[in-house]
Chain A
Amino acid sequence: MFADWPLLSLVVWLPILGGLVVLASGSDKSAVEAKVVALLFAIVTFLVSIPLFTEFDPGTAAMQFEERRPWIPGWNIYYHLGVDGISMPLILLTTFSTVLVIIAGWEVIRYRAAQYMAAFLFMEGLMNGVFAALDAALFYVFWEAMLIPMFIVIGIWGGPNRVYATIKFFLYTFLGSVFMLVALLYLYFQTGSFSILDFHAARIGELPQILIFLAFLAAFAVKIPMWPVHTWLPDAHVEAPTGGSVILAAIMLKMGGYGFLRFSLPITPDASAALDWLVILLSLVAVVYIGFVALVQQDMKKLIAYSSIAHMGFVTLGLFVVYDIVQYNEAAGQPALAGAAIGVEGAVVQMISHGFISGALFLCVGVLYDRLHSRQIADYGGVVNTMPMFAAFMVLFAMANAGLPGTSGFVGEFMVILGSFRANFWYAFLAALTLIVGAAYTLWMVKRVVFGDVTSDKVAALKDIGAREFLILALLAVAVLALGLYPAPLVEVMDASVARLLEQMTRTKL
């Protein structure tokens, strides 16, 4: 029934319209009305995004729900939207997370609440635009515009050191994006089109491919982020308000992974094959090095931020082991792409799952921060005595973060480790260290924060979560368990798209 609706345009522009309405209606006097309007827009957008999943045809790798109109005809730029099985789940993750973030900020944000809500609605629309855009110019506009509400959120509602964090965040991501812009312009001059699908089909020489790959790498490695361009993330998280951290971790980091999937691998397959060792190396550094760094953090948000970097290492690892798998298969006399899909699909599953888990963990820290105004592990201890319900959620999400089977956190890591074993035993060996290190940093934090006897009067006076907080954590808990116990639907929608991607990324363009 939704086949004729411009669903993608709706999920992009509805929240932006909502943001304008909220801005127009809202001052601090009418904050309640503004919040209700914001929530309504977020919920409607989420409902509108559901048919993207239910009406999706998993049998084809072609773009679906396509919309295409000329935008700047002189430059051959189109307003071109469409999703495949890789981008569609990310849009659902965005619309879902935004609802939670709006609810999470309900009572907590007292200063300019309407503007806060509006910023998240703008962000939602722009992020959906990033995932849906099939025209590179359109994509780039969304990609850069999305930063603006985020650094406003950090810069206005952030912590004491927010200016440093905002500027660092902005400069890092902006510097990376500039290289990407150059690459996109080069591709435009080569193909005469800004269509990403045309870029996929274009033949490109070896040196240009390498340069384009490096330009993309600069943009996406910062975004995801990869070692050593990751240090903006812990600072940004620490200073960001809870909602900002949730969106940053749940969605914005995924932009980097999405960029690799949509741009680097299909546009520059030969360069990706030649430089895969670099990305794999950095991924493994992320998993191991960053895991140990997370272990010694004393600030809960920093710890989860570092944990995010380590988990994103699995995304890039799963994507780039494909070339080694192909080599293994050739040596073993097996079909070239045998066993390659599981790594790529694991990477996508990991992105979705990390959206739920890291969002949930940041919300948990937010719950504590709202009460004690501290993120320091040392200020807590024995929280379970006064907040048993919260403790149950915290332990669940911590276990998910540690990759416990039955939660979503296991699925992606499991698939990527299985995939990388085929590429090289030692990749799998190093990646699997996360089983130990990831459990160590997550559960050690839980031990010091949640368990134990009450350590201070402040902890003794804590109140357990209320209905609003229960609702958002429960929704995330359901999502984490559902994806962990039955990942088949998610994997099914991406299967055809991943198969096409594998074919694109292993076919030479020289």
Chain B
Amino acid sequence: MFENMETVYLWVVLAPLLGSIIAGLFGWLIGRAGAHWVTIIGVGVSFFLSLVVFKHIVIDGAPAYNGTVYTWMVAGGLPIEVGFLIDKLTAMMMVVVTFVSWMVHIYTIGYMHDDPGYTRFFSYISLFTFSMLMLVMANNFLQLFFGWEAVGLVSYLLIGFWYKRESAIHANLKAFLVNRVGDFGFLLGIGAVLLYFGSLDYAQVFAGAEKVAARTMSIWPGVEWPVITVICILLFIGAMGKSAQMPLHVWLPDSMEGPTPISALIHAATMVTAGIFMVARMSPLYEYSETALAVVMVIGATTALFMGLLGLVQTDIKRVIAYSTLSQLGYMTAALGASAYAAGIFHLMTHAFFKALLFLGAGSVIIALHHEQDMRRMGGLRRYMPITWITSLIGTLALIGAPGFSGFFSKDSIIEAIGHSSLGVAGYAYACVLIGVFVTALYSFRMYFLVFHGEPRMDAHTREHVHETPWVVTGPLIALAVPSVVIGAWYVGDMVFGDFFGRAIFVLPRHDVLGGLAASFHGPWGMVQHAFFQPPVWLAAAGVVTAWYLYMVRPELPGVIAARAGALYRFMVNKYGFDDFNEAVFAGGGRGLGNLLWRIGDVRLIDGLAVNGSARLVGWLAGVVRHLQSGFLYHYAFAMIVGLVALVGWAVFWPVE
């Protein structure tokens, strides 16, 4: 049936694009139902075809496809093309992206039911799906950058979806600009790739990696850096923006201003993992720079711990999950630094399912409570919303890495890999990710207990109307809960310790921690048993018990602790002061510099002094000269006489030779 795979690849991206265009341009014509049907069918087709691709590439083991769709331009003999690279990494990403996107499309019917921007919303999320697919299917840096910025655009549009809210349009501008800081590095990285590899095509670049690894470039007279380190760090700056790693993480918590379905799809499951995907895709480059790997690991581990800590002090349910996302992205990044790309990507996949589940569960709670997001006005919801409760519990268990759940396999692999990494910074990173396990369990179960257990704290009116959400909401919850449980055990052997990715991911033998760990891997069940002799499980358990004690047994205690730790608590509520710093230094500094250059440079110096000054000078000269033209005849007559005398005098006293 699917003889021509090239057509399949094309339709995977075109179906959501068409849906988006139809819903966006003709939404007024086809109505609300028309808009959701056309986009759901578009993304559904895309998901189905992605499964076909997955079967073709992964299950049937067909060789990777690398082909051109069209030539974007040929500049000075250099062809720059739009094309697809479909290998096992791509195939897996395609399935994850289209599946989560499809679930979110369906869920949106329920969540955005009363919103006046209904058709616009469907158009945006389908456009996002298209952009994300272009990103993961790219076979060259130009298209990667196109997808990279296109998902940023849709993220901008969706964070600011409720454009009347000042907080929303502040958040989307902030998100775009912080991402642009990352893209600034990313674009320079692409420039460096073109200069030193002579191509933007992945295949050619990767083939030349070993040769370029020996070269250095002069950053500053006398300062020589290895080319590959410069390239990898520049590209990673892009990943720090998109995947919200410190210090470019500041936009992600604010992005929660967007509707919850996109928090699940874009700001948890897919777009923010683009940076992780990119580094894994570039593993043939990163492998040759231990400096870059060390940077990646430190940034990732720091984000994993310190962003998780902030999840402890949030009261907005979506913001807790947002900080959790930051922390989990940190885990993935740290894994990349340890050359455990497969473990990072594996965690990307499991996280996509359970974090989308958690967000959609939170969204279910939010609509049930009439758009209440403050956890202090929730509680006891397990009695009213059984499906949301059970699925959220599954998501939470997966998140904290409870043995057997999907998150357990991926996170444990990451921690093991970092523990065995030979990089000098691995010790610091290992401490961060271990403490992070305790923190994750603590904030996760704090949220879980506050929302679903204890006494209901909403007002009486709301409580009377609380009931389980409709099937379009609970259906996707169940559909996401299934992989959140099983996908880990199912794929850990293949993806992390097997040869699932084949040549899509490249690891030098001396960095191959996962290969070393594979020897002691005896199936998922063995991994579960083994875990009980390792610290992470007990740290997670301690976190759960602590949360239970603090929020179920002694609920007055957290307030006391917060009061005791006044300064530290305020420091954390202030998000370590990043926002204040950026607002003062970069936003304020930029405006100040602009005003200085404008009012002093342009207005005062160039216009005031040079332009209008010379005009005044001319005016003054003219004013002086003007007095000669007095209009009095005897003045002119006098001037003529003087001139005549001078001329005659000259003729007389200097006779012609």
On whether the beta carbons of A421 and B73 are closer than 8 Å, the reply is no
In the complex, the answer to whether A385 meets B164 with C-beta atoms within 8 Å is yes
- Closest chain-A Cβ to B116's Cβ sits at a distance in Å of 11
Least CB separation from A421: chain B residue: B191
Given the interface pairs A296-B598, A339-B195, the reply to whether A487 lies near B610 with Cβ below 8 Å is no
Q: Given A293-B598, A433-B184, A452-B164, is A231 in contact with B607 using a C-beta cutoff of 8 Å?
A: yes
Known: A432-B188, A488-B71. A295 touches B176 (CB 8 A): no
Bits for A403-433, please: 1 = Cβ < 8 Å to B, else 0.
0111000110011011001100100110011
CA distance A404 to B127 in the complex (A): 15
Q: Tell yes or no: A486 within 8 A of B by CB.
A: yes
Task: Judge whether A371 is part of the interface by a CB distance below 8 angstroms.
Answer: no
Q: Which residues of A contact B610 (CB under 8 A)?
A: 228
Q: Is the CB of B611 within 8 A of A443?
A: no
Q: B145-153, B298-306, B402-410, B442-450: which one contacts chain A? A: B145-153
| In the complex, chain A residues whose CB is within 8 Å of the CB of B170 | 447
Known: A295-B594, A452-B163. A492 touches B74 (CB 8 A): yes
Decide if B75 touches A491 in the complex (CB within 8 Å): yes
A: interface residue count bin: 35 or more
A14 contacts the other chain (Cβ, under 8 Å)?
no
Q: In the complex, which residues 427-473 of chain A have their Cβ closer than 8 Å to any Cβ of chain B?
A: 428-429, 432-433, 435-437, 439-440, 443-444, 447, 450-453
Contact B153 A432 (CB under 8 A): no
Instruction: Tell whether B617 is near chain A: CB-to-CB under 8 Å.
Output: no
B639 within 8 A of A: no
CA–CA, A506 and B288, complex, Å: 38
A447 touching B173 by the CB < 8 A rule?
Answer: yes
- B70 interface residue (CB < 8 Å to A): yes
Whole-angstrom CA separation of A422 from B75 in the bound complex: 15
Q: Which residues of A contact B180 (CB under 8 A)?
A: 435-436, 439-440
- Asked whether A340 is an interface residue with its Cβ less than 8 Å from the other chain, the reply is yes
B601, A342: Cβ atoms under 8 Å? Answer: no
Chain B 178-201 residues near chain A, CB threshold 8 A: 180-181, 183-184, 187-188, 190-192, 194-195
Q: Does A168 lie at the interface of the complex (its beta carbon under 8 Å from any beta carbon of B)?
A: yes
Contacts A231-B606, A341-B75, A488-B71 given; indicate if A435 touches B187 (C-beta within 8 A).
yes
Option from A345, A425, A432, A486 in Cβ contact (under 8 Å) with B72: A486
State A337–B77 Cα separation when bound (angstroms): 11
Give the contact-size bracket for chain B.
Answer: 35 or more
Q: Is the CB of A436 within 8 A of B177?
A: yes
Residues of A within 8 A of B148 (CB): 405
**Taking CB as reference atom, which chain A residue is nearest B78?**
A342
Q: Do residues A295 and B591 form an inter-chain contact, with CB atoms below 8 A? A: yes
Contacts of A491 in B (CB 8 A): 73-75
Enumerate chain B residues within 8 angstroms of A499, measured Cβ to Cβ: 76
Q: Report the minimum CB–CB distance from A360 to chain B (whole Å).
A: 17
Docked complex Cα distance between A440 and B179 (Å): 11
Q: Is the CB of B76 within 8 A of A429?
A: no
- Kindly provide the distance from the CB of B134 to the nearest chain A CB, expressed in whole angstroms: 10
B415 cross-chain contacts in A, Cβ below 8 A: none
Complex CA distance for A345 and B75, rounded to whole angstroms:
7
Residues of B595-622 contacting chain A, CB below 8 A: 595, 597-598, 601-602, 606-607, 610-611
Q: A422-B195, A433-B184 are in contact. Are A404 and B164 (CB under 8 A)?
A: no
Within the complex, what minimum Cβ distance (angstroms) separates A171 from chain B?
8
Q: Do B153 and A399 have beta carbons less than 8 Å apart?
A: yes
Does B166 count as interface, using CB distance less than 8 angstroms?
yes
CB-based contact A296/B595 at 8 Å: yes
Contact of B593 with A by CB under 8 A: yes
Is A292 interfacial (CB 8 A cutoff)? yes
Q: Return the contact of A452 from the options B74, B150, B153, B169 (Cβ within 8 A).
A: B169
CB pair B166 A452 closer than 8 Å: yes
Partner of A443, one of B146, B176, B188: B176
A289 located at the interface, meaning its Cβ lies under 8 Å from any Cβ of chain B in the complex:
yes
Query: From A295, which residue of chain B is reached at the shortest CB distance?
Result: B594
Tell whether, in the assembled complex, residue A495 and residue B145 are in contact, meaning their CB atoms are under 8 Å apart: no
The A-contacting residues of B in range 294-339, CB under 8 angstroms, are none
A269 contacts B by Cβ under 8 Å: no
Q: Is A294 an interface residue (CB 8 A)?
A: yes
Give the distance in Å from the alpha carbon of A164 to the alpha carbon of B602 in the complex: 17
Considering the chains assembled together, what is the distance between the CA atoms of A453 and B168 in angstroms?
A: 11
The reply to whether B183 and A435 form a contact with Cβ atoms under 8 Å apart is yes
The residues of A that contact B74 with a CB separation of less than 8 Å are: 488, 491-492, 495
B568 CB-CB contact with A under 8 Å: no
Q: In whole angstroms, how far apart are the Cα atoms of A382 and B76 in the complex?
A: 45
Query: Is B219's beta carbon under 8 Å from chain A?
Result: yes
Q: Is the CB of B611 within 8 A of A294?
A: no
Given contacts A421-B194, A425-B217, A440-B590, contact A382 B164 (CB under 8 A): yes
When distances are taken between beta carbons in the complex, the residues of chain B under 8 Å from A226 are none
Q: Is the CB of B187 within 8 A of A296?
A: no
Cβ proximity bits A289-309 to B, threshold 8 Å, 1 near / 0 not: 100111111000000000000
Q: State how many angstroms separate the Cβ of A393 from the closest Cβ of chain B.
A: 13
- Is A279 interfacial (CB-CB < 8 Å)? no
Point out the residues of chain B lying under 8 angstroms from A415, CB to CB: 75
What per-residue 1/0 map shows which CB atoms of B124-150 lie under 8 Å from chain A?
000000000000000000100110111
Residue A498 lies at the interface, judged by CB distance under 8 Å to chain B: yes
Q: Mark B475-506, 1 if CB is under 8 A from A, else 0.
A: 00000000000000000000000000000000
What residues of chain B lie closer than 8 Å to A433, measured between beta carbons?
184
- Please, which residues of chain B bring their CB within 8 A of the CB of A297? 598
Q: Are A428 and B188 in contact (CB under 8 A)?
A: yes
Contact A405-B145, Cβ < 8 Å, known A293-B594, A296-B594: yes
Whole-angstrom distance between the Cβ of A452 and the nearest chain B Cβ = 6
**Residues in chain A near residue B595, CB distance under 8 A:** 296
* Contact A293–B166 (Cβ < 8 Å): no
Q: Provide the bound-state CA to CA distance between A436 and B183, in Å.
A: 9
Closest residue of A by beta carbon distance from B168:
A451
Minimum CB–CB distance for A440 against chain B, Å: 6
Give Cα distance in the complex from A437 to B184, angstroms.
10
- A190 to B: closest C-beta gap in Å: 32
Chain A positions within 8 Å of B, measured between CB atoms, are: 168, 228, 231, 289, 292-297, 337, 339-342, 345-346, 382, 384-385, 395, 399, 404-406, 410-411, 414-415, 417-418, 421-422, 425, 428-429, 432-433, 435-437, 439-440, 443-444, 447, 450-453, 486-488, 491-492, 495, 498-499
Closest 8 CB pairs of A and B: A341-B76, A421-B191, A296-B594, A292-B594, A295-B594, A405-B146, A451-B169, A453-B164
Q: List 11 additional A-B contacts (Cβ < 8 Å) besides A289-B597, A432-B191, A495-B74.
A: A293-B598, A296-B595, A337-B76, A339-B195, A406-B146, A432-B187, A439-B177, A439-B180, A440-B590, A447-B169, A452-B164
9 CB-based A-B contacts, threshold 8 Å:
A293-B601, A342-B75, A342-B78, A395-B157, A414-B187, A421-B192, A436-B181, A452-B169, A495-B75
